[in-house]
Amino acid sequence: MDKFVIEGPTPLQGTIPISGSKNAALPLMAAALLGNSPTTIHNVPKLRDIYTFNNVLRVTGARVDFDEESGTLTIDPANISFLEAPYELVRKMRASFYMLGALLGKYGEAKVSLPGGCAWGPRPVDLHIEGMKTMGANIELEQGYVIANTEKVLDGGIYELDPSSVGATINLLLASVLRASEFTIKNAAKEPDVVLLCKALSNMGAEIDGIGTDTLTVRRVDTLTGIEIDNAPDRIETGTFMIAGAMHPKSELTLTGADPSELGAFPETLRKTGAEVEINGSTIRVKAPDTLKPVSIKTRTYPGFPTDLQAQWSTMMTQAEGDSKVTDTIYYDRFSYVPELVRLGADMNVEKNTVHISGKTPLKSASVMSTDLRASVSLVLAAMVAEGSTDVLRIYHLDRGYEDLEEKLSRVGGNIKRLDQDA
Ligand code: EPU
């Protein structure tokens, strides 16, 4: 198992290229199964979750070629014969549950493991399943697996998501485009990852109305054709580095290859801390203020403040002069990073789904433990402004979602090394 050893504090100065998005690529990969010819996706990041999903696809008989050099992924569904996603793979990554919609939609049958819990709570999939039942699919649960089948053509109907869910919207789209005469998803997710999937499916030949709104209506088509498509830049990686650029008073970062239009209200929120944020096409420049101002936030669905940047924001707030609150309204329990930041000297405490932060506290090195992907990168951000040498343990979480993190940070002045934590 690897750890990072980070020597701080270091200001970050220079240019960081933004990678392709993990959460946008995964639904595109699932959609590739629906085509009757191969699909090629460009700008796919080299991340553990992508490799896991490649294997989930390969288990079915799909041919998957990943040219890592160019980030080009080609998926040929021609020889799919095994309509299952086994527990061993689904438990590694919840998004494997997209196989339910993709296999059911294309082949009318699927056996997909339930994902189980996660580091910050139960994260149910009831809406995915209820939505498919509403569509007309037969679904049973057996020994931890969802076993589903459908007629060739389903009536469809209307299903309202409560709460809105990115994953359920994606799964219901995948299940319905080749099956449901007419199916409407209300309170659908409007996150950019969902919009990109809708556009990809439309390019493949699907009929979807209301793209980008919270009401999506699908009308069945007989076949879909494989396409060539560019994956989006990673908006959460972008937001993470924007925060990194604001945390140390001498930092100034330029991010290239980003898509600022997918950041919602985030740049404006960051400006409230006193940071300079300049957007020019696909380039974003962030310059830290001499003194960070405290800014309280609440996570919301898109275009609100993303839950996937909540931990990084709290970490930055430990360096702001004054009190702030960070409330997560999407996941009520996503605060496992807090005790780790307290070990570094942060003054923060959790009350229900809010973390109260008092700043500015000088952070001092310690050993800290990653508990999930976003918690993990937050500990890296903290370590880079902490005095001394901090060990961030269990960084396999981080490898799921941040491509070349240590190279990217080293190039802009971070002092970060990857070592074997058990050596
Ligand atoms: N929910 C239900 N029932 C369901 C599905 C969701 O109650 O059947 C609830 C969840 O418990 C949560 C809310 O709905 O309270 C929203 O969850 P959502 O389904 O939107 O989350 P997700 O699709 O499982 C994706 C991202 C997450 C990101 C969330 C929210 C992927 C692979 N994952 O998860 O990303 O936090 O949307 O934006 O796209 C990450 O990248 O670190 C990450 C966790």
Q: What is the pLDDT of residues 71-103, one digit of tens each?
A: 999 999 999 999 999 999 999 899 999 999 999
pLDDT computed for residue 325 by the predictor:
98
The whole-chain average pLDDT of the chain stands at 96
Residue type, 130: E
Average pLDDT over residues 306-329: 98
- The reported pLDDT for the residue numbered 117 is 65
* DSSP line for 186-226: ET----HHHHHHHHHHHHHT-EEESTTSSEEEEE--S-B--
Q: What is the pLDDT of residue 421?
A: 85
Mean pLDDT within 267-281:
98
Neighbouring C-beta atoms of residue 367, cutoff 10 Å: 15
Distance between Cα 167 and ligand 1 center (Å): 6
Nearest atom, ligand 1, residue 166 CA: 20
Output the CA 9–ligand 1 centroid distance in Å.
Answer: 34
Query: Inter-axis angle of helices 310-317 and 373-385, to 10 degrees?
Result: 20
Q: Can you tell me the mean pLDDT for 368-389?
A: 96
Mind listing the pLDDT tens digit for each residue in 95-132?
A: 999 999 999 999 999 999 999 766 766 789 999 999 99
Q: Which helix (H) or strand (E) holds 113?
A: strand 109-113
* Contact 190 CB / ligand 1 (< 6 Å): no
Distance in Å, CA 131 to ligand 1 centroid: 16
Q: What is the mean pLDDT of residues 371-392?
A: 96
- Per-residue pLDDT reduced to its tens digit, 295-307: 999 999 999 999 9
Q: State the DSSP code for 33.
A: G
Mutation choice for ligand 1 from 26, 159, 165, CB with most ligand atoms inside 8 A: 165
Q: What is the pLDDT of residues 151-184, one digit of tens each?
A: 999 999 999 999 999 999 999 999 999 999 999 9
Instruction: Please determine, for residue 143, whether its predicted confidence score (pLDDT) is greater than 80.
Output: yes
Q: What is the pLDDT of residue 120?
A: 66
- Cα separation, 320 vs 262, in Å, equals 26
Query: Average pLDDT of 406-417?
Result: 98
Is the CB of residue 96 below 6 angstroms from any atom belonging to ligand 1?
A: no
Tell me, what's the pLDDT at 197? 98
> pTM for the full model?
0.97
Q: Which atom in ligand 1 lies closest to the alpha carbon of residue 129?
A: 8
**Residues noted as catalytic:** 118
Q: How many other CB atoms are there within 10 angstroms of residue 420's CB atom? A: 8
